[in-house]
Every structure is written in C-alpha cells, then in structure tokens.
Amino acid sequence: MPPAIPAQQGGTRHLTGLVRFNAAPPASAEELLLACCGSRRWAERVAAHRPYPTLDALLAAADEAGYDLSGPDLGEALARETAALPHPDAPPAARTALGAALAAYEARFGHAFVISLDGVPAGERLDRVLAGIRSRLGNEREEERVVAAEELRRLARTRLTRALAGP
C-alpha cells in the first residue's frame, strides 16, 4: 500500500511549510505575514496571490510587495518593529552604547532601527548594529526611509523563510 499523503493523515495540521501556508484561511496567512512585515496591505497582497508553487515564488512576491510599500504602509510596518536588544551576556558598556545609539536613532527618525543580520555571526551582530546606526544617523529622513524599507524587505524574507521552515 502506498504511503498516505499528508492531507490523508488528518488534515492541515500535518501539512508543513509552503503547503500549509497555501492552504491556510486568508486570515491565518495574513497573520503569519504580519509577523514578518507589519504592513497590513503588504500581508493582504502577498496572501491574496496564493497558492505559490515554490518558496522562491513566494519570496519574489513578498519582495515585489515590499518594493511597492507606500509611505503610510512603510510607516505602519516600521511602527510595529522593535529594536533588537543585545544578548544579556553582553558587557554593560555595550548595552549602554546600544541603548544610547538606539535612542538617538529613534529621536531622529521616529521609528525603531531595523537591520537585517542574516548571515552575520552572533559574535559580530552587536558591532554590526552599532556601526549601522552610526552610519545611518547621518542620513536625511527620506534617504533613511529608503534604507529602512530595504532592511525591512530583507527582514521579511528571512522571517518568512523561517516561519515556513518551522512545524
């Protein structure tokens, strides 16, 4: 007897990854997407184009929707972001430096600092964040919104890939 396909073994709880995402009710798919990028319009747009044949097709659609974020959509997504805190084992001076840099960034631009650290070794992340904040504090407001939008798009790709890789 051939092995049963996942749907024959009890419904969507056995489906994983992209198959589960494609089969999810629209509200569930949008909820997962909102955890990846906080723009409701982005989540609705990506969810509306299901089913996706491959993860690459989904990521391409997410990218396209990310490139098309309007000013208010980007503002909504950035408002839902929170700055990453340093590892609790980080030296107190590093935590203080990061806190001051994040406060300066948020005071200047009015939203949390976002940066994709995909592929950056754990031991280098704090330095990368501090360097990123320092370099981006010199940006003009509109220039920084472009940089933040690109970082948010990269974060959404990473988050979406991880969300679909999970159980």
Q: Which tens digits make up the pLDDT trace of 57-94?
A: 999 999 999 999 999 999 999 999 998 777 778 889 98
Which tokens sit at 119?
């592929």
Q: Is 12's pLDDT higher than 50? A: no
Which tokens sit at 59?
């990521």
Q: Are 79 and 38 in contact (CB under 8 A)?
A: yes
Residue type, 25: P
Angle at CA of residue 82, ends 143 and 32, nearest 5°? 100
- Contacts of 83-92 spanning 24+ positions with Cβ under 8 A: 83/112, 83/113, 84/129, 86/126, 87/122, 87/126, 90/126
Which tokens sit at 155?
């974060």
What pLDDT is stored for residue 90 in this prediction?
83
Q: Which of 6 and 62 is assigned the larger pLDDT?
A: 62
Mean pLDDT over 121-137 rounds to: 93
Q: Are 41 and 75 in contact (CB under 8 A)?
A: no
Q: Are 77 and 38 in contact (CB under 8 A)?
A: yes
Cα torsion 107, 133, 141, 75: sign? negative
- Report CA 162 to chain centroid distance, whole Å: 10
Q: Are 133 and 105 in contact (CB under 8 A)?
A: yes
Q: Are 12 and 21 in contact (CB under 8 A)?
A: no
